Amino acid sequence: MKRPSTLQIENMVSRRKILAGAVAAVTTTNLILGGKLAIADTALNTGEQHMTPKAFVYTELQISTPFDTVPWQELNDQIANEPGFLNKTWFSGAGNNSVGGIYSFDSVETAQHYCTRFFPAVAKEFGVAQTTRVFDATIVSDASRDIGSPHFGATPTQTPGAFVYTEVQINVPFEKAPWQARNPVLKQQKGLISKLWLSGLNTNTLGGVDAFDTIENARAFAVDDFPKTAANLNAAFYTRVFDATVTEAASRGLSSPYYS
């Protein structure tokens, strides 16, 4: 294996220093917040991370860093102590090395808190733009269970090799979404392991997190198949493909339901 150059090593060290600074900043933020939000430690210690989620959060930092340079152990310690946090699956962008994830929270309020306090503090320390989304988990439970989502108790059938995040720019209350017709089609999708349906809080956007066996099958879905679905809806859309193989240990560290 080719050894990294001196410049590459210096860049990796610099990235680690930036990420470590972010962890320190967030620690200070959490100490200042106090009050009712201090119950997070108790919730985690009593096993509430396994409770049925009430909200999901999607995040992504506009950064490019190989996941093996991310100090996820330190970040996991901070994330695990966030109010209402249940679990997280880390994401590492296939092809661009962006960093983010899909999280479960015990309420919409704690999910909103994470998106307005903790995550912006991390992004600010990095000096990069960021994306966050909050989704109502309660209204997608039946649709997600029907297609094997481990977030709602399904046992994973295999370890994922990739994830696809999708979101369509439409406003459709989920009770009117045609998921009963869509799920049988998705179940025939090559390489699909499971799907977590997502419904945007206050926006009613439709989307999901799809677990695939390989990056190749995930990319085929994101590039070839999903655009046809969006075209049928006459709507703009958003897709991301993530390499699950590099984030497995980090995700297990935050009780990701994708790993039994």
Q: What is the pLDDT along the chain (260 residues), one digit of tens a residue?
A: 444 444 443 444 455 555 555 555 544 444 434 333 433 333 444 344 468 999 999 999 999 999 999 989 999 999 999 999 999 999 999 999 999 999 999 999 999 999 999 999 999 988 999 999 999 999 999 999 999 999 999 999 999 999 999 999 999 999 999 999 999 999 999 999 999 999 999 999 999 999 999 999 999 999 999 999 999 999 999 999 999 999 999 999 999 999 97
pLDDT at 23: 52
User: Burial letters for 133-156: b for 16+ Cβ neighbours within 10 Å, e otherwise?
Assistant: bbbbbeebbebbebbbbbbbebeb
Query: Do the first three CATH levels of 6-136 and 138-243 match, i.e. the same topology?
Result: yes
pLDDT at 1: 41
Report d(CA 64, CA 25) in Å as an integer: 21
Residues 123 and 110: beta-carbon distance below 8 Å: no
Residues 167 and 200: beta-carbon distance below 8 Å: yes
Tokens of 107: 């309420």
The architecture in CATH of the region 138-243 reads 2-Layer Sandwich (3.30)
Report d(CA 44, CA 6) in Å as an integer: 42
Question: Which three-class secondary structure string do you get for 207-258?
Answer: EEEEEECCHHHHHHHHHHHHHHHHHHCCCCEEEEEEECCCCHHHHHHCCCCC
Maximum CA pair distance of the chain?
57
Q: Where are the domains of the chain?
A: 6-136, 138-243
3-state SS of the chain: helix, strand, coil percent to 5?
Answer: 45, 25, 30
pLDDT at 16: 54
Q: Which amino acid is at 216?
A: E
pLDDT at 17: 52
pLDDT at 244: 98
pLDDT at 35: 38
Residue linked to tokens 């860049």: 11
Residues 61 and 98: beta-carbon distance below 8 Å: yes
CA angle, corner 231, sides to 225 and 236, nearest 5?
105
pLDDT at 13: 44
- Residue 107, exposed/middle/buried by CB under 10 A (0-12, 13-18, 19+)? middle
Q: Which CATH number is 6-136's, of 3.30.70.100, 3.40.50.620, 3.90.1150.10, 1.10.3210.50?
A: 3.30.70.100
Pick from 251, 257, 233: nearest CA to 153: 257
Global pTM reads: 0.85
